[in-house]
């Protein structure tokens, strides 16, 4: 770990903005990122647990019963955060894949790989809870609604990416092929988000919008936002833990653990 000692030398702190820029750039080094992620994972894991407990308590105990849907509406405290995260994680993974493709950074493709399983998990949760919500409200577990169909396509994109990068033995070729697939699938994300506006669908419109007041009680909104925060913290903790494993695996394959070249 001689390179880590060089990077962490106190001389970097004495050069103002240039030093700060160098400090941020050094996180592109796998050993430095590996060490930082190891310190960050427990904090985000604990935060995820606390927010999840608070969010479930507010959502399933404190929030009032909906006057139209009754108790079944409480699925939104799991369904909506999972659906949001499924789309957001895909965009972040595609961004990392693009950075790796364009700038040939070593951490970026590993971050894409680390994020994809969590995004796929949230997509499955969104689809499953949506079906559980749809049965009592629509009378069917599944309909070929634009929102549901595009969300299902998102799951196939995640699974396709994971299958592709696992099937190619050469890590660099796998990273490039996976990046192309992720970037090609980005067009599906706005389709998911705007499908209820572009087409006449059974899926209800957004209850929370940046351009208008939320169409729900404040306690309902608080519970949902707490669960969103829990999903964010969980995603960060799991992705960082997974990327640490990928860094070790990749460096062992390359036979040069400790290099600070990005």
Residue-by-residue pLDDT tens, the chain, 262 positions: 443 433 333 333 334 444 445 555 676 788 899 999 999 999 999 999 999 999 999 999 999 888 778 888 899 999 999 999 999 999 999 999 999 999 988 899 999 999 999 999 999 999 999 988 888 877 888 888 888 899 999 999 999 999 999 999 999 999 999 999 999 999 999 999 887 776 666 556 555 554 444 557 789 899 999 999 999 999 999 999 999 999 999 888 877 544 444 4
Coil, strand or helix at 66: strand
In a domain, 197, yes or no: yes
Q: What is the pTM of this model?
A: 0.84
In a domain, 22, yes or no: no
In a domain, 143, yes or no: yes
pLDDT at 68: 78
Q: Which residues of 90-114 are buried (b: 16+ CB within 10 A; e: fewer)?
A: bebbbbbbbbbbeeeebbbbbbbbb
pLDDT at 259: 45
Cβ pair 29, 262 in contact under 8 A: yes
pLDDT at 22: 53
How far apart (Å, rounded) are the C-alpha atoms in residues 115 and 113?
6
In a domain, 1, yes or no: no
In a domain, 27, yes or no: no
In a domain, 134, yes or no: yes
pLDDT at 245: 96
How far apart (Å, rounded) are the C-alpha atoms in residues 234 and 50?
11
Is residue 214 classed exposed, middle or buried when 0-12, 13-18 and 19+ CB atoms within 10 A define those classes?
A: middle
Q: Domain of 56?
A: 45-254
In a domain, 12, yes or no: no
In a domain, 5, yes or no: no
Based on the structure, what is the number of domains in the chain? 1
């Amino acid at each position: 770990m001689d390179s880590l000692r060089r990077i962490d030398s106190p001389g970097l702190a004495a050069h103002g903005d240039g030093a700060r820029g160098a400090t941020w750039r050094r996180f592109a080094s796998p050993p430095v990122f590996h060490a930082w992620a190891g310190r960050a994972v427990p904090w985000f894991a604990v935060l995820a647990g606390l927010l999840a407990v608070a969010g479930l308590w507010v959502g399933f105990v404190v929030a009032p019963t909906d006057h139209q849907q009754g108790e079944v509406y409480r699925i939104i405290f799991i369904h909506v955060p999972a659906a949001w995260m499924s789309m957001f994680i895909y965009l972040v993974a595609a961004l990392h894949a693009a950075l790796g493709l364009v700038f040939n950074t070593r951490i970026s493709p590993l971050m894409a790989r680390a994020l994809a399983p969590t995004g796929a998990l949230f997509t499955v949760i969104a689809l499953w809870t949506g079906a559980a919500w749809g049965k009592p409200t629509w009378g069917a577990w599944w309909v070929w609604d634009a929102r549901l169909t595009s969300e299902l396509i998102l799951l196939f994109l995640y699974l396709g990416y994971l299958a592709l990068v696992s099937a190619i033995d050469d890590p660099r070729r796998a990273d490039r092929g996976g990046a192309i697939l992720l970037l090609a699938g980005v067009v599906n994300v706005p389709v998911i988000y705007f499908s209820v506006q572009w087409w006449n669908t059974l899926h209800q419109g957004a209850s929370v919008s940046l351009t208008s007041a939320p169409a729900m009680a404040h306690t309902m909104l608080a519970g949902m936002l707490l669960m969103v925060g829990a999903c964010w913290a969980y995603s960060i903790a799991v992705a960082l833990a997974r990327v640490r494993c990928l860094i070790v695996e990749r460096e062992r394959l390359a036979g040069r653990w400790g290099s600070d070249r990005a």
